[in-house]
Amino acid sequence: MASSARSSETGEDSIIRLIDQAPQPVDMTRELLEGLRASQKSIAPKYFYDEQGSRLFERITRLPEYYLTRTEIGILRTTVQEIAELAGSGAQRHSGKPVLVECGSGSGEKARILIDGVSPQAYVAIDISKDFLVSSCEALSSDYPDLDVYAVCADYSQNWDLSEVLDTDARLLAFFPGSSLGNFEPDEAAIFLSQVGQAISGRGLLLIGIDPPKDASVLEAAYNDSAGVTARFNLNLLTRLNREFGANFDLSGYRHKAVYNQIEARIEMYLVSKRDQEVRIGGDRMFIAKDEAIHTENSYKYSYDRFVDMAQEVGFSCTRYWTDEAGLFSVFLLSA
Ligand SMILES: C[S@@+](CC[C@H](N)C(=O)[O-])C[C@H]1O[C@@H](n2cnc3c(N)ncnc32)[C@H](O)[C@@H]1O
C-alpha cells in the first residue's frame, strides 16, 4: 500500500499531517468492473464517498427522517464523561491520555464531542474521501490548535497501517460511529472487528455505534427521505463513475430504491434501470436490462444479542452499552 506523508497548512492554527494510503485507481477500476459484471450487479458503498458524496451524506445526517446521527450524538453527549473515565483507566504501561482513532471520520462532528470530553493526546481520522477528510481535519485542527491531528486517507476494509502515527505505548480509544459496521457483510464485519481488536488489545477500547432493527416504516423513511437527498447521494455514484472511471451512465435512466429486508435485518439500496440500456466503463461495455437493479449498499441492523455475540466471538467484551429512550440507536464500549 502506498504511503507518504505531507504537511498541510491552511492558516495560522491549522496544521495537520496527511498519511496518504488511498486505494490505487487501477485497483478501484478492477473492483468496480468485477461488481458490475456479476449476475447481481453491485458497486461497493465506499464508492459513494467522493467529495460531493461526502457533502450529500452530511445533508442526509440533518434530514428529519434520518434519526441515526442526531440520536447517536445525543447518546454521546450524555455519556461522554463516563466514556472519558473508562478510556482513561487501565493498565499502567499505557497511562496518560488516549489517542482517539476514528474509522470513517466524515465531518468529524461526533469526534468533537469526544475531543471535548476525553481530551485525547491526538486525533487520527481515517477516511477514504480524501479532499473531504483533509478539509474536515483542517477545520478541526483550527478549532483545537493544541491537538495533533492526523488525516489518514485509506480504505479501512483493506489492511491499513497506523505505525507512522501511533506510538506503541499510546493508550487508544478507537471510534467507529454511524452504524458503518452495518455496511459490511456479517462475516466481513467480524473480520474488521477482529482487526480492530488486535490493534487495541490490552491498550484501549472501541466505542462503536450500532443501529438496531426496528419498524420497517421508520427504516425505509430514513433511506427514502422526502427531500430526495438519499436518491441524489445514490445517483452521485454514477456521476462519479462517469467522471473518474470513464463511464457514460445516463443518470436519467436510473432511479433510487431502498427497502428493508426483514429476514436479513438490513436496508438494501439499489439503482434500478428504467429501460434496457448499454453502458461503457473505460474500454468495457455492458448491457443493463429494464428493471435490473445495481446493488449499492446493505446496512445491517444488529440487535443487542446479535452484535454482542459477534463481538465476543472475536475476543471483545462489552464494557458498557447505552441507548436512547426510544431505543432507536445504541452505542457500545468494548474492550479487547
Ligand atoms: C456513513 S458515513 C459516517 C460518517 C461519520 N462517521 C458519522 O458517523 O456521521 C461513512 C464514512 O466512512 C467513510 N468510508 C466509507 N467506507 C470507507 C472505507 N472502506 N474506508 C475508509 N473510509 C470509508 C466515508 O467516506 C464516510 O465519511
- Ligand 1 site: residues with CB under 6 angstroms? 46, 49, 54, 57, 61, 69, 104-106, 110, 126-129, 155-157, 177-178, 180
* Residue of minimum CA distance from atom 7 in ligand 1: 178
Q: Which atom of ligand 1 is nearest to the CA of 46?
A: 16
The answer to whether residues 117 and 84 touch, using CB atoms and an 8 Å cutoff, is yes
Q: Ligand 1 center to residue 179 CA distance, Å?
A: 10
Q: Give which of 153, 130, 158, 151 is closest to 244, Cα–Cα.
A: 130
Give the distance (Å) from ligand 1 centre to CA of residue 59: 14
Pick from 270, 288, 336, 310: which is nearest to 42 by CA?
Answer: 270
pLDDT at residue 84 in the model: 95
CB distance 190 to 314 below 8 Å: yes
**Distance (Å, whole) CA 153 – CA 126:** 6
- CA angle 61/65/55 to nearest 5° reads 25
Nearest ligand 1 atom, CA 183? 16
- Residue ID of nearest Cα to ligand 1 atom 4: 106
- The C-alpha angle with vertex 230 and arms to 228 and 234, in degrees rounded to 5, equals 120
Residue with cell 473531504: 132
Cβ contacts of 152 within 8 Å, gap of 6 or more = 18, 19, 21, 124, 125, 126, 127, 160, 162, 165
Instruction: State which ligand 1 atom lies nearest to the alpha carbon of 105.
Output: 6
Ligand 1 pocket, mutate which of 1, 28, 46 (most atoms under 8 A from CB): 46
Predicted confidence at residue 95, as pLDDT, reads 62
Is 76 in contact with 331 (CB distance < 8 Å)?
yes
Residue 160: what pLDDT?
74
Residue having the nearest C-alpha atom to atom 10 of ligand 1: 104
Of all protein residues, the one whose alpha carbon is nearest to atom 8 of ligand 1 is: 178
CATH code for the domain defined by 4-25+55-214+302-335: 3.40.50.150
The runs of H, that is alpha helices, within the chain are: 25-37, 51-61, 67-87, 109-118, 130-143, 186-200, 216-223, 229-244, 304-313
Predicted confidence at residue 1, as pLDDT, reads 35
pLDDT tens series, the chain, 336 aa: 333 334 444 444 568 999 999 999 999 999 999 999 999 999 999 999 999 999 999 999 999 999 999 999 999 999 999 999 999 865 445 667 999 999 999 999 999 999 999 999 999 999 999 999 999 999 999 999 999 999 999 999 997 778 888 887 889 999 999 999 999 999 999 999 999 999 998 899 999 999 999 999 999 999 999 999 999 999 999 999 999 999 999 999 999 999 999 999 999 999 999 999 999 999 999 999 999 999 999 999 999 999 999 999 999 999 999 999 999 999 999 999
Mutate to test the pocket of ligand 1, among 57, 184, 223 (most ligand atoms within 8 A of CB): 57
Q: Whose CA is nearest to atom 5 of ligand 1?
A: 106
pLDDT at 128: 98
What is the position in ligand 1's atom list of the atom closest to the CA of 157?
19
Give dist(CA 96, CA 120) in Å, integer. 9
Report how far ligand 1's centroid is from the alpha carbon of 31 (Å): 18
**How much distance in Å is there from the Cα of 127 to the middle of ligand 1?**
6
**Residue 129 grid cell:** 474521501
Q: Whose CA is nearest to atom 3 of ligand 1?
A: 178
**Considering only CA atoms, which residue is closest to atom 6 of ligand 1?**
105
Q: Domain boundaries in the chain?
A: 4-25+55-214+302-335, 218-300
pTM reported for the whole predicted model:
0.94
**Which ligand 1 atom sits nearest the alpha carbon of residue 104?**
12
**Count of Cβ atoms closer than 10 Å to residue 100 Cβ:** 25
b or e along 118-157 (b: 16 or more beta carbons within 10 Å of the residue's beta carbon)? bebebbbbbbbbbebbbbbbbbbbbebeebbbbbbbbbbb
Distance CA 23, CA 21 (A): 6
- 50, 128, 229: residue to mutate for ligand 1 pocket, most atoms within 8 A of CB: 128
Q: What is the pLDDT of residue 93?
A: 52
pLDDT attached to residue 94: 61
